[in-house]
Amino acid sequence: MQIGCHGSVWTGRFDDDGLRDAIERTAAAGFDLIEIPLMDTGLADPAVVRGRAEAAGLAVTASLGLSEDTDISSEHADVHAAGVARLLDCVEFLAEAGGTHLVGVIYCAMGKYTAPARELNWQRSADGIARVAQRGQELGVRVGLEVVNRYESNMLNTGRQASEFVDRVREHAGTDNVDVHLDTYHMNIEEPDMFFPVLDAGDRLGYVHIGESHRGYLGSGTVDFDSFFRALGRLGYDGPVVFESFSSVVVHPQMSSMLAIWRNLWSDGDDLAAHANRFIRGRLAAVGSIAEH
């Protein structure tokens, strides 16, 4: 199992300098993996990222949220096509950077919709993700569909919805490299509890974000991490587990407005990340000790 950290703990600028700093500090905090936000794919050189991550001993994954202009669930053919092109660029970038998982709100735009998704939107999204998954399959990249709260998507708000959609997309794509991606911050808003959705996702669960209810220090909010980590243990989950936190101290202009990052919840990213690394490993060790006896 790889324990990782989201790049936004370190920087809001994902060019070569920003990523060098993020990679070094992720490794220093004790993590195995860095998740790179691909808001600006053009700013960094994937070969440089690959070399630095390898030197630091870190695995690489990447995430993004699509925008209104690149919404693959759109009924407008040009917007759908722009979204597919954007995601295919991201798959190529990630593969060149030595990465293994492309995740996030990549099945629709990340933001508040004013109407529910219609069947045409689901169809368009499934078509787009299938194409990305097929390219990912060729490059050794898995695709994770992140379940988020109602203010950030009108499609996948629960693990159950995501499981159904993942089955549909896997069949459509003819590949099995499409997974459910659960995030404790979003689950805490939408799911009935933190245990059963993990078991319900079952072997479709391929990626996990660990975030607190206010996205700050783990253990300082209302997320029921005990139940969540017990469920991971019961399931025997062994994919990436990635800490995600945002503060107005470290700001990517696009992301902060999309995710509503207005408050300063911490100012020392190094302390925050080292704490999260201990917190996650401690919980996993505890549930692991039960599973073995």
Catalytic residue among 35, 146, 152, 212: 146
Give the interface size with Mn ion as a residue count (CB under 5 A).
Answer: 3
The full length of the chain comes to: 293
Q: Which of 32, 183, 200, 212 binds Mn ion (CB under 5 A)?
A: 183
Tokens of 70: 């690149």
Tell me if residue 244 is catalytic. Answer: yes
- Least distance in angstroms from the C-beta of 105 to Mn ion: 9
Binding to Mn ion by CB under 5 A, coded x per residue (else -) over 107-146, reads: ----------------------------------------
Site for Mn ion in 189-218 (CB under 5 A): 209
Closer by beta carbon to Mn ion, 135 or else 181: 181
Give the binding range for Mn ion (CB under 5 A) out of 49-57, 123-131, 179-187, 226-234.
179-187
Closer by beta carbon to Mn ion, 179 or else 244: 244
DSSP 55-116: HHT-EEEEEEEE-GGG-TT-SSHHHHHHHHHHHHHHHHHHHHTT--EEEEEEEEESS--SSP
Q: What are the backbone dihedrals phi and psi of residue 184, each rounded to the nearest 5 degrees, phi first?
A: -65, -30
Closer by beta carbon to Mn ion, 209 or else 252: 209
Which secondary-structure segment (H or E) carries 247?
Answer: none
- Please give the Cα distance from 44 to 17 (Å, whole number): 9
Alpha-carbon torsion angle 150, 40, 81, 242, nearest 10 = -50
254: how many CB neighbours lie within 10 A of its CB? 15
Closer by beta carbon to Mn ion, 124 or else 152: 152
Binding site for Mn ion (CB under 5 A): 183, 209, 244
Q: Give me the active site residues, please.
A: 146, 244
